[in-house]
Amino acid sequence: MCAIAGEVNIKDGIGFAPYHADMISVMKKRGPDDDGMYCDNCAVLLHARLAVIDPKNGRQPMSSTTGENYFTIVYNGELYNTGELRSELELLGHRFHTHSDTEVVLRAYIQYGESCVERFNGIFAFAIWEEESRTLFVARDRMGVKPFFYAIRGGSFIFASEIKGILQHPSVEPVIGKTGLSEIVFMGPGRTPGCGVFEGVEELRPGHFGYFTKAGLRVKQYWKYEDKHHEDNLQDTILKVKSLVFDSVKRQMVSDVPIGTFLSGGLDSSLISAIVAEQLALRGQQLKTFTITYKDNAKYFTGSKFQPNSDDDFVGVMVNFLNSDHTRVVIDTPQLVKALYAAVEARDLPGMADVDASLLLFCKEIKEQVTVGLSGECADEIFGGYPWYRDEKIRAAYGFPWAQSTAYRAGFVAKNLAGELDGAGYINKRYEDSLAEVSMQHELDKEEARMRQMVHLNTYWFMQTLLDRKDRMSMYSGLEVRVPFCDHRIAEYMYSVPWSMKNLGGREKGLLRAAMQGVLPSEILWRKKSPYPKTHNPAYTKALSGIICDLLSDGDSPLFQIMDRGAVASLLSTERAEPWYGQLMTTPQTMAYMIQVNYWMEKYGVKVKL
């Protein structure tokens, strides 16, 4: 994986400036192996590379001449159907000089134009500059795994893999207005699709491409869910699911550098690990697996509705089953607290508190042994694993099911801002706009119609928060993480599968479990869903409370420009079971979120302008 950035100004022209170097250098953690630049009188394209495929020849920016036109690409991603596309293009007369997927993407665009993206199976964000026609083409993968942020200032189109790259441009200031405030207070750590929180900073939405020309930016959607009649019977559906999942995992093993898998002992990561281990064994290789846990968690863990049991025993079952080379990463409280700040720098925004911070630390340890990791994200969104899919009361409730805390959040707004922000109106408008985009057959009954809405909402909202987290926390250490369940073919197929099949046997992800009979030990296959592990050590809450006290006593804490001091103080004495966001962000994580907001405002020099 890599970092990409650049600026195009066709009207006024540009030349290389020192801030261009800054745009890519601040993202160097994403691409520690190499860097490069292309510059003409209208365009500057920048790249920092993490070498995974063809380390010797895959340097970027990469250029190619066809007729009178000169094409240059900067690309962040991985194609999983490179071989098929290369063969197809060779039959059409193309000659390749590398075996990198970057060259395949470039030549596919030269051959097919914008429709090239419909041929790609992979995760990607890229920009291609056509020198002769003075056109910049940009695109992002269907599911939104790889990021692409941009801003338009005057005649310039400025883009980068991360917000920090955009903020290096002298015309982009770290300003937030009503929209940015509403995102932080009412939506965070989630984000409205396409919103970059800072004024004028946007993100190309998943499944979209765009052209920037002298006339400006034109964006078009090339992929979305389309509800279809599901014609396969149950047995054929089971076989299809198994085939798609196995094919996705095998494709995503492609790498010229060492790979490993995240292993929690849950269904999703165990399934991916089992398939990878089997494939590596055929090559005479042993799989490396990695698990995260917390110091003294066994001592303090208590089960809950959302987290019924600890991972440790189940991980042991899988390690024995896989015969993997296993590493158990143990995180201690002081590390976790300190990493809250690095996690903000990785995400460029306050995030999922210790859920982000622990993943950042985990990925740092994984990178010591491998450069590519496969992880189980997105199965819950696509196969219906979350509690809000299956709890009829939660499912029927108006609004985003993982964020039913708008009224609670409103109590944290600084009093001088309370009259400026309408939390309920802001959230409801985005919820209604999302529902208007949902594809569904007219004859669906009430339950099936709601499930289409749920899948759409989860894919474009909750899943994006997790994909942001996985990309930023892993790339902070130059670790490429792939998410096989996020293959668009799986998502497309599963979208129209009836809920009665997805919920087979009355179990979360029942269809996936049925498809994987015989692949996993039964105690893993039928283990009740348990989310990403968090610390239960009271020392963590104590440490956070100390930091909150320091912020309260500091008259200059930027947090209180937007948050009410008394409401934040109440976190020290009130334990709230209902999460701030998702399943894991209860009171300690809410405190951690406030700490991250304060650090973000301080570190990024955030200015509030209404």
3-state secondary structure 154-168: CCEEEEECCHHHHHC
- Please provide the DSSP assignment of 278-344 as one string: HHHHHTT---EEEEEEETTHHHH----SS--S-SHHHHHHHHHHHT-EEEEEEE-HHHHHHHHHHHH
Distance from C-alpha of 209 to C-alpha of 126, rounded to nearest angstrom:
10
What DSSP assignment string belongs to 26-51? TTGGG-BSEEEEEE-SSEEEEEEE--
DSSP code, position 187: I
Measured distance CA(289)–CA(26) in Å, rounded: 31
How many H helices and E strands in the chain? Answer: 26, 19
Residues 279, 117: Cα–Cα separation, whole Å: 29
Question: What is the amino acid identity at position 197?
Answer: V
Q: Which amino acid is at 432?
A: E
The helix or strand, by DSSP H or E, that contains position 135, with its residue range, turns out to be strand 135-140
DSSP 342-353: HHHHHHTS--ST
Q: Please enumerate in sequence order all residues whose Cβ is within 8 A of that of 113, keeping only pairs 6 or more positions apart, or say none.
A: none
Buried b (16+ CB within 10 A) or exposed e, 468-500: bbbbbbbbbbbbbbbbbbbbbebbbbbbbbbbe
CB-based contacts of 370, cutoff 8 Å, min separation 6: 257, 258, 259, 260, 288, 479
Residues with catalytic function = 2
CA distance 578 to 329: 29
Contacts of 266 (CB under 8 A, 6+ apart): 311, 314, 376, 524, 527, 529, 530
The answer to whether the beta carbons of residues 311 and 520 sit under 8 Å apart is: no
